[in-house]
Amino acid sequence: MTALPDWMRPPRAEGWFAEDLDRLPEAPRHTELIDGVLVFMMSPQRWWHGHLISLLTVALMEQAPADTRVGREMTIRLDARNRPEPDLLTTTAPFDPTRTWFAPDEVQLVIEVVSPESAHRDRTVKLRKYAEAGIPHYWCIEDEAGAPVVHVYELDAPTSAYAPAGIFRNTLKRPVPFEISLDLARLLPPRKG
């Protein structure tokens, strides 16, 4: 049996807390905290996933109002035991180059691009946790035969749950959290047939 490195041992009997992530320089990139448990993305990222995130980042930055910024792979401190890292988010928080996380009330939109290893968390766990934290908008992007399909959710404040606001293929037009118009097919390079 291989011994765990010291940095992987929780610092206290209760496990990990959100602030612990900032003190783990040995942890792999994209380490998240879900219910006090460290979650690592150990599988190699698929080109589809990375390319889609890159082009979506640019598209959102071009359309975002002056007071809105697009963040890529930054954690959100939902509570003391949860600090997930969405693929993208939009925020109106002022830029701070030393920042390592956002509070839920600073986030307008969270976007997760589903990978085989993150599918359960993105479709269920994060969907529920982001809603309970009060984040107004959530997009879950699926790979449908190589094409992006965006499942859009809006927060229903009285229930603290997301309500489906549509499934988008080919194009996406949304008035919230700001005017967004995307040609989804252009977020990926053409496939050779």
**What's the chain's average pLDDT?**
92
- Whether 23 and 156 have beta carbons less than 8 Å apart is answered as no
pLDDT at 43 over 70: no
- DSSP annotation of 45 reads P
First-to-last C-alpha distance (Å) of the chain: 48
Is 22 inside any structural domain?
Answer: no
| pLDDT > 70: percent of the chain | 96
Task: Over range 2-23, report the average pLDDT.
Answer: 82
Predicted confidence at residue 186, as pLDDT, reads 92
- Whether 160 and 131 have beta carbons less than 8 Å apart is answered as yes
Is 29 inside any structural domain?
Answer: no
Residue 188 confidence class, pLDDT cut points 50, 70, 90: confident
Q: How far apart are CA 102 and CA 87, in angstroms?
A: 14
Instruction: Identify the domain containing residue 103 by its residue range.
Output: 45-187
pLDDT at 94 over 80: yes
Is 24 inside any structural domain?
Answer: no
Predicted confidence at residue 193, as pLDDT, reads 61
Is 17 inside any structural domain?
Answer: no
Which pLDDT tens digit goes with each residue over 124-164?
A: 999 999 999 999 999 999 999 999 999 999 999 999 999 99
Length of the chain: 193
Is 8 inside any structural domain?
Answer: no
Long-range contacts of range 144-152, CB-CB < 8 Å, 24 or more positions apart? 144/169, 146/48, 146/188, 146/191, 147/184, 147/185, 147/188, 148/52, 148/113, 148/184, 148/187, 148/188, 149/184, 150/184
pLDDT at 100 over 80: yes
Is 25 inside any structural domain?
Answer: no
Is 16 inside any structural domain?
Answer: no
CATH number at residue 81: 3.90.1570.10
- Whether 66 and 75 have beta carbons less than 8 Å apart is answered as no
Q: Per DSSP, what are the bridge partners of residue 38? A: 33
Task: Over range 182-191, report the average pLDDT.
Answer: 87
Is 1 inside any structural domain?
Answer: no
pLDDT at 11 over 90: no
In the chain, the number of structural domains is 1
Name the pTM for this structure. 0.91
Find the range with the poorest average confidence among 90-99, 148-157, 184-193: 184-193
Helix (H) or strand (E) holding 60: helix 47-63
